[in-house]
Structure 1
Amino acid sequence: MSNNSTDDYDYDEMPYLCDDMDFSTVNAAFFIVIFIISVTGNSLLLVVLVCYENLKNATNLFVLNLACSDLVFTVTLPFWAVGHLHHWVFGDLACKLLTAAYFVGLYSSVILLTAITVDRFITVVLNKWPRKPVRERCAVGVCAAAWIISFAASLSDAINVKEFANGEELSCESDDLELNLNYYLQVSLLFLLPLAIIIFCYSAILITVLQFSNRKRRRTVVVVLCIVAAFFVCWGPHHVLLFVETLYEPEGCDAEKSWDIAYHTCRILAYSHCCMNPLLYMLSQNLRRHLLKFLHCDNGMSRSMERVTSHSGIRPRTSEVMVDLQSK
């Protein structure tokens, strides 16, 4: 006679008996921190660019649009944070608009980063850019196209997402099957394809730059490379995990917990990208100097340097390498 006691069951094979790990508070806390850093950093970057840089310059125009793209993505984070801590309280229209803003920020970032890389490739490797006015018009056209494509690509995501009732709580969710098909198609076109283009371009750029001793050009390429690499380092694991999710089903409580930890960690890393660009732009000595000037720190630093040099009798040397993101 078989024993029907609960001891015969393997609890690890019964997902509904697993203790769910609650990441709501952790996610919300990180989203708010990222929001504060991103808004502060990108806003300062925009002010510095508008007040002190030539916005007709192609590279400055790309950087300006990248900062706007990060801000568009960033404004959605407090709403997702509230959704994690409580439930969705903003209504169906806000659900659609914020989802659209999320994807517009994501897609425009990758398109603009690809455009910057191609611009560097033409400048450094081909060395065949036409005169400045033509190049500037091309940059304006590319930025406009990036926003148009991003808005168009985000429409399907915004249409498929809506406010759902989960018992007494509301959530902003989507029809999984239809959204997944659209999402992976867009990821293929707007993540994997740009990644392939960027790898090709930067391989050629690095080979070309290493053949010359122009330290200024090398530093410029390194700055742009760091900016591009940061995007794929942050978003790459998240996209890989979402792709693996379609092929892998965790079995057992331990596997589910490990998967949840990996998913939430990769998502926080991905979202943190929007606050990294301003930090990377500060590798540019020009931008650092302009930021200090805007914050009124340069006068005090100049007076301190003058006092030191007057007592020591040593003339300060100018910087050997000026990192300038502007194209030469």
Structure 2
Amino acid sequence: MNLTTLNSSTFKFGRHEFVNSNPEMAIPLLIALGLGTVIGTFGNVLILLGVARAKDLQNMESVFIVNLACSDLYVTALADPMSITAKLEGEDFFERIPGLCRAIACMCTISCVNSLMSISALSFNRFIYICHNKYYKKIFTVRSCIFMCGVFYTIGIFLTMLNYLDIGDHTFDRKSLECIWDRMATYSYTVVFSIVLVWIPIVVIGLSYLKIFLRVKASRQRIHQSRLRTSTSSSNFASSFQLCKTMFIIYIVFATCWAPYALIIVVDHDDSFDYAPHLYIVVWAHMHPSLNWLVYYFTNMKFQRAFDSILFITRCRRRVEVEDVVVTQTTENSLKPPKRVHSTKESAGM
């Protein structure tokens, strides 16, 4: 088998042929997808249980967090196992079940669009809360948040329905060995998809977080000078900013995972690239839904307590609670004016 034939989209891997012909590439990718399936499904279920059980996680922004977890759960519980099947069984497996590959690919597009828009909504939520707090309760209500999530799914469905107008398509990609968006069906649509649904949101969200951090820095300087903030507002501010940092890391992970895919589907306009970059990039993009719960756990104390409670990790939960109290007390003490230091003679009444 020559390399030119193998790198052509006209070449079709048969059953177990990908593993047998290139085990040094196939085995690590299959292991990564297997771990993503198990760890990601476990983690996304944990997110849903955590929000359902912990009252301090049941707020407006959690509507988007739950929506994101549901989309991620589809990828880890169904799309990733189907990706493993595709790499083991080849395209013939899906040809024997008409409509299966297209359905998986369409659902994957809907899920990815919903994930990106949920992350964007969470960023917008934090931006309004911190930078324009007086509008927060007017914009974000339970009804409006649920409505936004419905709109996200509607946009994803609309993008897939355009296929029936011969705009874009979903099929088995012979280079990434995946049921996925057909990058070559309508190239102009692929470019628009990449720019409008990936690059523009990534840039806008990044600028929003930059403004948030500049606003927080300025606020901290004013507070340090005036020392007028109460311990209650201090606690609320710290909690809000902690969630903001968590969502910023989620955004970074999403951008890191999906930016290479948004780039390669545009750059490889004549389908001349080696199949290896397509394989690695698509698998890497699918790792994002498996990582979010770890970001929540290691960057947000509320989620950490909720997860520890579900997993009966009592020792870790007590440690986190103690650290939370210490941080809160330290913040409050730093805002109090310094006490007057009395000399030994004064304290002795002399």
User: Normalising to structure 1: TM-score of the pair?
Assistant: 0.75
RMSD: 3.6
1:224 aligned residue (235, 244, 247): 247
Q: How many residues align?
A: 288
Give 1:60's match in structure 2, choosing from 52, 59, 62.
62
Match of 1:201 in 2: 208
**Structure 2 equivalent of residue 87 of structure 1:** 90
Change (3 A) 1:163 1:206: closer
Question: For 2:316 and 2:213, how far apart are their aligned partners in 1?
Answer: 39
Check the 8 A contact 2:57/2:303 in 1, yes or no.
Answer: no
Task: Specify every segment of 5 or more residues in structure 2 that has no aligned partner in the other structure, as ranges.
Answer: 8-17, 221-236, 330-350
Residue 229 (structure 2) aligns with: none
**How far 1:87 sits from its partner (Å)?**
1.9
Q: How far apart are the structure 2 equivalents of 1:287 and 1:171? A: 33
Instruction: Tell me which of 257, 266, 284 is aligned to 1:269.
Output: 284
Match of 1:292 in 2: 308
Q: Distance in 2 between matches of 1:184 and 1:262?
A: 19
Equivalent residue of 1:318, what SS?
Answer: helix
Which residue among 292, 295, 299 is the counterpart of 1:280?
A: 295
Once the 2 structures are TM-superposed, how far is the Cα of residue 216 of structure 1 from its aligned partner? 4.3
Distance 1:242 1:292, change over 3 A: same
Alpha-carbon separation, structure 2, partners of 1:300 and 1:56: 22
Write the deviation string for residues 48-97 of structure 1: whole angstroms up to 9, x where unpaired: 11122367621111111110010122211111211111224241221121
Out of 182, 185, 188, the residue aligned to residue 192 of structure 2 is 185
Once residues 46 and 318 of structure 1 are traced to their aligned partners in structure 2, the CA distance between those partners, rounded to angstroms, is 26
Alignment of 1:101-120 (within 5 A): 101-120=107-126
3-state secondary structure, aligned to 1:92? coil
Q: Distance in 1 between matches of 2:261 and 2:238?
A: 35
Counterpart of 1:77 in structure 2 is 80
Offset, 1:237: 1.6
CA contact (8 A) 1:156 1:182 kept: no
| Conserved 8 A contact 1:99-1:157 | no
Q: Which amino acid aligns with 1:92?
A: P
1:29 and 2:45 matched: no
Alpha-carbon offset, residue 99 of structure 1: 0.7
Partner of 1:41: 43
SS in structure 1 opposite 2:99? helix
State yes or no: 1:121 paired with 2:123.
no
Relative to 1, partners in 2 of residues 1:175 and 1:59: Cα closer, same or farther, differing over 3 Å?
A: closer
Residues 161, 173 of structure 1: 8 Å contact kept: yes
* Alpha-carbon separation, structure 2, partners of 1:128 and 1:39: 38
Report how far residue 128 of structure 1 moved. Answer: 2.6
2:345 equivalent in structure 1:
none
Q: Aligned equivalents of 1:233 and 1:285: distance in 2? A: 24
Q: Aligned equivalents of 2:206 and 2:191: distance in 1?
A: 21
Q: In 2, Cα distance between the equivalents of 1:241 and 1:300?
A: 43
Q: How far 1:146 sits from its partner (Å)? A: 0.9
**Structure 1 pair 263–290 and aligned structure 2 pair: CA distance change class (3 A):** same
Shift of 1:156: 3.9
8 Å CA contact 2:172–2:179 kept in 1: the answer is yes
After TM superposition, give the deviation of residue 316 of structure 1 in Å: 8.8
Aligned mates of 1:191, 1:164 — CA distance in 2:
20
Give unmatched runs, 5+ long, in structure 1: 1-11, 251-255, 306-314, 323-328
1 CA distance for matches of 2:172 and 2:280?
Answer: 25
Per-residue CA distance 1:124-162 (angstroms, 9 max, x = gap): 112232537953322122111111111222334698335
Which residue of the other structure, out of 256, 261, 264, is the alignment partner of 1:241? 264
Paired letter, 2:85: V
Aligned partners of 2:50, 2:290: CA distance in 1, in Å? 16
Q: Structure 2 length as normaliser, TM-score?
A: 0.71
